[in-house]
A = this chain, B = another copy of it.
Amino acid sequence: MDSHEEQMARRTSGLGRRKFLYSCAMAFAGGAIFAHKSWSQQSPASAGPASPQLIEDLVAANRVLADQGVVDGFGHVSVRHDKNPNRYFISRSLAPALVTAADIMEYDLDSRPVDPRGRDLYSEVFIHGEIYKVRPDVNAVVHSHAPSVIALGVAGILPRPVYHMSSFIGGGLPVFDIRKEMGEDTNMLVRTAERGRSLARVLGQRPAALMRGHGAVITANALPLVVFRSIYLQTNSALQAQALSLNPNSTFLTEREAELVDKELWDQDRHLRAWELWKEKAMGR
């Protein structure tokens, strides 16, 4: 069932460190050092260091998303390299609340790490790479398991903007159901480039997509805005569920209202007011 690509991804990124070392030793012992060598050949070149501010913001985004309950031990956030649009940064496999600058890894858009350093890596990096490939307007991506968003998703209810803070979803969000896209026999995870491409296709030009039975993917042109959208997608989902339980005909923002407020608010960096607060709360702890 698993493609060669998926097996490779698992072997190099999906193993606990002890198991990884053990399997490397086994591979060497048997002379079958194929995995290691092919990896070396595939490693893309680095695009050089990013601006320190970008890495600092990426660490802050990890901490804020954890502090605000959008991610728990799982979920991840990435940012496109500010010196080369064909590279992006994301943490090694680690709970977002624990991420520091030393944990940040550089990847190319095929989601190959520039320098794996034998580290455990997120297995679903393809979510990020495949979106960066087809969405030049996107510079930051969040993958979350936010509970209220998941509840809406499995109930088959599409997010609608309850208030102006979630105006970015006014145009509607698609749902990626891996079962429909990739067949009955998937393990739910976006662990291959093929699945990443499928998700990016369903996302299209929208700012975010739900992932049925899994979570969501949220995009923006920068880290503070992708964090803002991730937090308010979560809050809005909870509000929408409450409103619908009170009245199935609740009044949500019209597409026109959402469009106008989105333009007014975010053209003018208003979301940075929240970003400053969230950083202070998350980094001060």
Stretch at the interface among A36-44, A199-207, A251-259: A251-259
Instruction: Check: A174 CB closer than 8 A to any chain B CB.
Output: no
Q: How far is the CB of A267 from chain B (nearest CB, A)?
A: 9
A73 cross-chain contacts in B, Cβ below 8 A: 273-278
Contact with B along A266-285 (1 / 0, CB 8 A): 00111011111110110000
Number of copies: 4
CB A17 to nearest CB in B, in angstroms, measures 9
Tell me, yes or no, whether A101 is within 8 Å of chain B by CB. no
For A155, what are the chain B residues with a Cβ–Cβ distance below 8 Å?
Answer: 242-243, 246-247, 250
**CB distance B185 to A147 under 8 Å?**
no
- In whole angstroms, how far apart are the Cα atoms of A265 and B156 in the complex? 26
Q: Quick check: A250 and B163 within 8 Å, CB to CB? A: no
| Tier of interface size on chain A | 35 or more
A265 CA to B14 CA in the complex, in Å? 8
- Near B by CB (< 8 A), chain A positions 133-178 give 145, 147-148, 150-152, 154-157, 161-165, 167, 177
Instruction: Output the residue of A19, A73, A251, A253 with the most chain B CB within 10 A.
Output: A73
- CB of A245 closer than 8 Å to a CB of B: yes
A47 on interface, CB distance cutoff 8 Å: no
11 sample A-B contacts, Cβ–Cβ < 8 Å, listed by A number:
A14-B268, A15-B268, A16-B268, A97-B281, A154-B252, A162-B213, A163-B188, A163-B215, A164-B189, A187-B261, A188-B260
